[in-house]
Structure formats: C-alpha cells, structure tokens
Structure 1
Amino acid sequence: MAASSNHKNSFHARSNSLPSRENPIITQLDEHLCRLRASEDASTSSSFSGKLSRLQDLHDCVSKVLLLPLTQQAIAQENNEKWVDELLDGSLQVLDLCNTAKDSLLQTKECMHELQSILRRRGYGEIGLTNEVKKYLASRKVVRRAIHKALKVMQNKCTFATFNGDHETTTMFNMLKEAQTTSLNVTESLLFFVSGPKTKSVGWSLVSKLVHHKTVASADQTDRNEFAEMDAALIGLVEHRTSKSDNIKVVQSQLENLELCIQDLEEGLECLFRHLIKTRVSLLNILNH
C-alpha cells in the first residue's frame, strides 16, 4: 500500500510529550489519534467500520479544537496563511476520497442487486446469468480504475509540512494536520480494500477454499475481503470450475456477506462525510470573521 506509506513518511507530528497543563481538548484529540494509530494494520470490513467510527469521533474532537480561542487566533494570523491553506486543501482531499469510496460502493451495490434479482427468479437461463455475472465483473473493473485514478491524484497532491511556532500553537496545528493525514490513510486503505486484488490471480484458489469449506465463518478473518471473495466466486461460476449448484450457493452466500459489508461501510462513510463538512465549514467561518 505505497500511497499510505507516503502519507505516513511525509508527516508524523505527534509530540512525544505533551505539556503537563495541555488543554484537555488537545489531549483528547491526541488520544483519538493514538487509538486510530493502534488499529492501522487491521484490514477487514469490520475493522474498517470501527475505523470510520473512530474517525467520526476524531473529527468531532477537531471541531471542538477549532472553537478554542488559541486555534481561532492562530488561524486568523496572516503569517499562518500557508498552514491554514494546507488544512483547507487537506480537508478537500479527504472529502474527495470519501466521495470516491461512496461512489464505488454505490456502483458495486447496484450491480450486485441486479445479480441477486436474476438468482431469485425461477428458471433463469444460464446465458442470462452468465451475462449478468460478466456485467458485474466489468463494473468492478470500472470501479477499480476509478479508485486507482483517485489514489494516484491524491499521492501527487499530498504536501503537508510541519508547522513551527510557539509550542502550544505548534502542537495544535501539527495535531490538526495529523488528524487529516490519519483520515487520508484510513480512507486510502478502505479504497484499496474495496478495489480488492486482481481477481484473475486469486480467483481459483479462493473459490476452492470457499466451496470445500462448508462455512465461510471458519475462514481466517484477518484476511477477509468480501469484495475479493465475491469477484472470485463469480469467476468460478462463469468458468465452471466447480459444479454449478455448489457455485451458485457460494455466490448467494457471498452476495449476502457483501450486502451487509457495503451497508456498514456506506453508513460509516456518510457519517464521516458529515463530520468532515462540519470541520471544513468551521475553518472557513474562522477565516471569514
């Protein structure tokens, strides 16, 4: 996940020892960042739901930090214009990635529902099913291209620098930037998760695993990716790598898993998006006063 690594290497500004009399809201922001940092390596649908929830808490805290007189005074100062512009640019970057994630989930869900519809019909023809499967897989390729394009654009835009001023103001600015960097990292990781690996390289091994193990719940949850599993099961169905009845059962099971996964992620992203908008509006309001 190269792009995420670039973000992490380009900026990591948490102070090693916050002042003993630090504002409690700043301390709370630091605690939220620590919790998110501790969960960076987990990459399952349930872990992303948790991360999105923690990001909401983080940006709720950021909104409180923006209400502090210290923050408002620092943002209003002309000599801090460069760092304020970076905060505004960063908020747009996170919003753009959230929009890409929301669009990707919506497109996947729409094609998934069409596939579910044909599987529920009695007497569906094999040609009709195969065409619907191919349509879904073609849609996934479009989603994957859009995600990779958005990540490439984001990699070229990320230019966060470290703020240098008095200790209290520096701590505040750098933590606000780290909040944005953490948001970018999580959203970026989510996009890689939704994109999934190239299905042709993992399709048959994953289909074999799903068919021969009677329950998906026994699979290794640390590597669980409902999007990749769905893609692989559909490739197996189209290429008749297993008996048709077994493969259709796998597909139906994966459709149910994917539907729940998408619902959780959509809800988390929508709530996060509202928090991000609130933060950006707060920044703009401070600048306009």
Structure 2
Amino acid sequence: MDSFAANSKKSFHIRSNSLPSKPHPVVDEINENLRRLKASEEATSSSSTLCQKLDGLQDLHDSIDKLLLLPLTHQALVDNKSVDDLLEGSLKILDVCALAKDILSQMKESAHELESALRRRKDDMIDVQKYLNSRKMVKKAIHKALKGMEKTSSQKSDESLEIVSLLKEAETVTYNSIQSLLLFVAGPKSPSKMSRWSLVSKLMQPKKVANKEDGAYGNEVEMVDASLYSITGHKSDFFVQVEEVQNSLRKLESCIRDLEEDLENLYRCLIKNRVSFLNILNHFLNH
C-alpha cells in the first residue's frame, strides 16, 4: 500500500486550490471537532478525559475521510507540494498510535500478572519488583517516543491552502492527544520519593475527590506506582495493605481496557484515512 507514497515524490503542477467561499458542510464538521479537541487540551489528563479525547479524534478522522472523498480535495492534494508531508505525517501518527497500543497492552498484562501473584502470595516482593522493572522499561520507551514527537510537531508548514492547513491542524491535534495519553501512562518521574503521609492521604480519598485534583499521584497509573514503591520501601509493616494495591491494580486494568478500545477504534480511522490518501495519489498517478 505504502509503495504509492514513494512514487508521490513526483513534481506536480501547483495551482491555487482552496475551499470555496462557502465551506462544504464536512469542513464545518471538521472545524467543530477541532474546536472541541483544542478546548479539551488544557483539561487535567484522567482516564475519562483521555477516553473523551480519543472518541473526539475518531469523530475528527471520520470527518476527514469524508473530506478526502470530495473531488475538490483530490485536486487540491494532488496539485499541491505538501502532499508528501501529509502522507509522511499520516504514517508517523499511525506509528505512534501503534506504539501507544503496544505500551497499553504491555501494561495491562503486567498489572494482571502482579494482581494474580499478590492474590496467591500476599508478600511476594519478586513480582512487585518485576512489575516496577517493567514500568521502567515502559517509561523509557515513552520518553524516547515523546522526544521524537517534539521534533516532528515543531516542524512548520508554509502551506496556506485551506484544505492542507485543515489536515495539518488535525495532525497536530492528534499528536497532542496521543502525547497526553503517553504522559498519562508514563506517570510520575519519581514515585519512590512520595511521602508516606501523602500516599496514605491519597489512598484514603474518595475517587470523586482524587480525580478532580491536578496534583501528582491522582490517577490509576500513578496510584499503583506510588503504592508499590512504598511497599518496597517499607517491607516490615506493609502500611499500604496488599488488598488496597490489588484494588488499584484492578482499577488500572479496567482503565487500560477502556483506553485500548478507544485507541484501537482511532487506529482503524487513521488507517482508513491513509488508504484514502494513497487512493487519491494512485488515481492521479495513473491518469
């Protein structure tokens, strides 16, 4: 499928192609989706807000696929020098989305294994350390990916055409949302430094209160990390009850399942968009 992308390096005749003075309804639809997603960017990342963002991205890319089916879009993309950038951008988003899927799958498996181990053997520190080692690997992979995303998202396009501008804006918003997801999964940088009292306070708070807090150690990922690091640091008294850790792990598994489902749906939308891009190029390369 992506062989067409390589062939797209051909020089196309560039004309001024922009949307008509009265936007097509699907353009209004895309702009509205973008507006909602941008408005949510400042919200504190929680499992629920991330699921909402992923749902919003699905709506956005469903609308984009409608735009890619319009004849005026075909002409604008093929005659425009930014077509290669758009294809490259769609592939990079697919790659980072696939990475996020892999990381979520790995985390869910690790959380399930630890929860099962603690259920069988209440004080098995080997399994706790195994989970923490897995988390370190996940964080390393995430921070490496985030560095690459920063370089990509910092690239600016001089393209002024409205269709291309709209698609590039959607690309940026998608990147920002996936970045928020990865930061959520990475969790705090130094959970082991959390104070004993701070952890106990967090664990004692009702969920509806904790979710509203902007401070660290408030979400499902962070609570598990903090609890486990405290267990390894206070092996003698186990002031954090293992049952509470098990409950946190089950909540984390449920959170990850929800994110996985929404991310998988988004991934399918992104593949559909890329196929539409390549079909446009294939049509014009053969005519």
> Which band: TM-score by shorter chain?
0.7 to 0.9
- Determine which of 220, 234, 250 is the counterpart of 2:228: 234
Is residue 266 from structure 1 mapped to residue 260 from structure 2 by the alignment?
yes
- Identity score, percent: 47
CA distance in 2, matches of 1:27, 1:138: 47
What stretches of structure 1 of length at least 5 have no aligned partner?
A: 1-17, 165-169
Partner residue in 1 for 2:115: 116
Deviation at 1:214, TM superposition (A): 5.8
Which string of whole-angstrom CA distances, capped at 9 and with x for unpartnered residues, describes residues 35-62 of structure 1? 1011111211100000000000000000
- Counterparts of 1:140-159 in structure 2, within 5 Å, are 140-158=135-153, 159=155
RMSD of aligned alpha carbons: 2.0
Contact 1:204–1:232 (CA under 8 A) maintained in structure 2: no
Deviation at 1:20, TM superposition (A): 6.4
Contact 1:160–1:177 (CA under 8 A) maintained in structure 2: no
Deviation at 1:254, TM superposition (A): 0.8
CA distance in 1, matches of 2:205, 2:35: 39
CA distance in 2, matches of 1:112, 1:220: 21
Deviation at 1:206, TM superposition (A): 4.4
Contact 2:227–2:240 (CA under 8 A) maintained in structure 1: no
CA distance in 2, matches of 1:72, 1:53: 27
Contact 1:97–1:188 (CA under 8 A) maintained in structure 2: no
- Determine which of 169, 175, 180 is the counterpart of 1:189: 180
- Counterparts of 1:128-167 in structure 2, within 5 Å, are 129-158=124-153, 159-164=155-160
Contact 2:115–2:250 (CA under 8 A) maintained in structure 1: no
CA distance in 1, matches of 2:143, 2:195: 20
What stretches of structure 2 of length at least 5 have no aligned partner?
A: 1-18
Contact 1:56–1:275 (CA under 8 A) maintained in structure 2: yes
CA distance in 1, matches of 2:178, 2:199: 28
TM-score calculated relative to the size of structure 1: 0.84
CA distance in 1, matches of 2:225, 2:266: 27
CA distance in 1, matches of 2:70, 2:20: 17
Summarize the Cα distance change of 1:242–1:100 in structure 2 as closer, same or farther, 3 Å threshold. Answer: farther
CA distance in 2, matches of 1:20, 1:261: 44
CA distance in 1, matches of 2:46, 2:122: 35
CA distance in 2, matches of 1:156, 1:256: 36
TM-score calculated relative to the size of structure 2: 0.84
